[in-house]
Amino acid sequence: IAWRRDSYQQAEQFHRAARARFAAAGETELLVAAENGLAHALASQYRVREAAAGYEHALSLGGAADLDLSRDVQEAIAAAHRAHPMPY
């Protein structure tokens, strides 16, 4: 959605809010997803150094939690969407 609307600054705000919420809730898989999304939003704004740090942090969090980042994070995202469907 951010790409189609060129709303990367808004996406950045949403990812930052999600990151804070998931960190407070101890939801590591979703925290990794939010960190990765934030990094993508930053990279899309050409804020490459900040994005690189975000990607590294996502990898570090995932590694510390012994996550299979492609599988575990995607499963957590799917479960969150099932629990809280987005009204598109």
Q: Which residues lie below 8 Å from residue 80, measured CB to CB, with a gap of 6+?
A: 30
Please give the Cα distance from 30 to 78 (Å, whole number): 10
Above 80 in pLDDT, residue 7?
yes
Which amino acid appears at position 74 of this protein? Q
Band (pLDDT 50/70/90 cuts) for residue 73 is: low
Region 17-30 average pLDDT: 93
What is the percent of the chain with per-residue pLDDT over 90, rounded to a whole number? 35
Q: Please tell me which residue, 63 or 85, carries the higher pLDDT value.
A: 63
pLDDT above 60 (res 88):
no
Nearest 10 degrees: Cα torsion 32, 33, 35, 36: 110
Tell me the average pLDDT across 23-47: 91
Q: Which amino acid is at 71?
A: R
Q: Between residues 87 and 51, which one has the greater pLDDT?
A: 51
